[in-house]
Chains A and B, each alone.
Chain A
């Protein structure tokens, strides 16, 4: 039941493979541009997160600045995180994985760079407009309608490059990572276009929009970001631990279950939807345990005695991402059970669940991928140890997740008593959620550390002997 990490099936190569270094180098500029831009956007999103939570405690803080009112900061944080950081990082990682696993150099390097530039322009336009007050109330789709075409066309350009490269791959067999990456690349434009064409349409009834927004918002996270994150985990766990993947078939089984159930999750914590939607969403969220167990078993069996002994930062990030994916899926499944759902809906617990996925699973897996990919595509080694980035990012993410989950539980407990004044209900959750401020700031410091490392490595490459980094 074992197979090689890179050759899961005995399919022969379609053609002579180019050197790996050549393949990696072909992705250098688009991957480096997307990665560094994404981390800068992440830093902004984390800063917005810290300030927004601070405003819940010090309500008068920056109250006279309309751009920095709580509602706009929350929307800014969410949208910039999803499109500025996570989607852009996903695009970079997907591009590299397609080239590496397909054993083919990138097709359309210049076009990919142009796509990345315009993607950042789209994020910038959307972010500025949110701060100016032009935003939608839908989670993960707060950008105003005029930012969406820029993002969509940028993605189309990127997607063409990615799919052409995918089609030209010289490794005929498809490793499980490529399944997930392929699915993410195909699903994103579908979800994004469906949302863009409906959520801002004045001709649609308001009764339709929240359902579409909930479907699209869930799938942007689950089927786009989640697929790429799973693809990265499936690649890096066997790769870094130098062990073959335990089971190719189990990975494919988990893949189809993840796609099948994942598309209908995350729509149950609402009171205004038809009951079939909330019921189906609760069921599918609970059934997501099946692919989680299949994935978990595969990774656990792959690692075997290696466990978590590796000091490699990429491996440590990936290990935690896998662990938080598994734990998060179980917590989400328990929270989807109807009595628990009714107890927890509308509380900060929902923000905690979202944080497990976005800050835990997605962010940590992407940073694990970056830690491995960036030195290889740039042919540079990190100037300093990335341990500081790892510790700050991980501790910050865990602090945000745990504080929001606890805050939500406290809030739900207070809200259950109808005689408890609602101000008291809210404040009971806000106090523990204050720890999230420290979490966001720790993560922010981690991103500065990452950017400093990249800058130092690049500088030392340009000026040999001036720093610790340099060519690998």
Chain B
């Protein structure tokens, strides 16, 4: 008897289970997912990125940054990511809902960047440029490769606005190209600070009998928490 047709049918039936569970069902459910609107503060999370930051996500993708940097923070009881300052809560699917594609990464050969924007902000772009241009100038033992092609090399003191210099180079300065600016914009836009159902952010006690709903307040109401982390270097 030819058993091939039976094997074929059973293979289809068996594999359909995982296809249905991991591909069809998530697709049917989550594809209609919309940003969360806090019923109390009316703040929306996640908010989309600016055009420049979205272009920066493409630069991030093109350089393959996800090969070294994850964008996923573990919960407090699973590892010490929160203790290292990688974020203020665990990462959930809602955080990268609007990213296409999300760049979660799988191996850390550098710090997690899911909340880079909580550690560095738009005032720190010079630091970001220098880190892209010569990482060892900022972190002596860094194993991050430099990205000189994201900058235009010009003579020192030639009056280029925004030019940055590196300590070991006196003759030249480096002007960030558009890709470097976009990448910096993307990096500072990385912040998972919305308080969501799966991962609420605990706010410091105010000493009042504020209702529990307040603990689910999204971005705007988390100023004390965010400020505590802003400019904090990941350990």
Contacts and interface: CB of A to CB of B under 8 A. Distances in A.
Interface in A171-195: 172, 174, 179, 182-183, 186-187, 190, 194
Q: Which of A55, A63, A214 counts the most chain B CB atoms within 10 A? A: A63
B172 to A, nearest CB: 14
A305 interface: no
A269 B110 CA distance: 17
A289 interface: no
Interface residues of A, number: 84
A320 interface: no
Contact of A204 (B15, B27, B94): B27
Interface string B1-36: 111100110111011011101110011001101000
Nearest to B69: A71
B40 interface: no
B101 A263 contact: no
Contacts of B14: 256, 259-260, 263
B interface, over-half SS: loop
A271 interface: yes
A204 B31 contact: yes
Contacts of B84: 418, 422
A182 B7 CA distance: 9
A336 to B, nearest CB: 14
A270 interface: yes
Nearest to A78: B67
Contacts of B100: 202, 204, 206, 209
A147 to B, nearest CB: 16
Interface in B122-144: 135-136, 139, 141-144
Given A70-B64, A182-B7, A272-B92, A346 B107 contact: yes
Interface in B142-159: 142-149
Interface footprint category on B: 35 or more
A138 B235 contact: no
Nearest to B142: A423
Nearest to B8: A186
Interface in B83-102: 83-84, 90-102
Nearest to A61: B145
B108 interface: yes
B115 interface: no
Contact of A272 (B27, B30, B91): B91
Nearest to B192: A272
Interface in A25-79: 55-57, 59-60, 63-66, 69-75
A418 B30 contact: no
Nearest to B83: A418
Contacts of B3: 174
A19 interface: no
B91 A59 contact: no
A71 B94 CA distance: 26
B106 A139 contact: yes
B94 to A, nearest CB: 7
B11 A271 contact: no
Given A202-B100, A346-B107, A259 B72 contact: no
Given A64-B148, A74-B67, A190 B19 contact: yes
B104 A272 contact: yes
B182 to A, nearest CB: 13
A59 B31 contact: no
Contact of B11 (A259, A345, A430): A259
A427 B141 contact: yes
Contacts of A5: none
A211 interface: yes
12 contacts: A59-B136, A59-B144, A69-B63, A133-B63, A174-B3, A187-B15, A209-B101, A210-B104, A215-B18, A263-B17, A274-B93, A347-B107
- Nearest 5 interchain pairs by C-beta: A71-B64, A133-B62, A207-B93, A215-B22, A263-B18
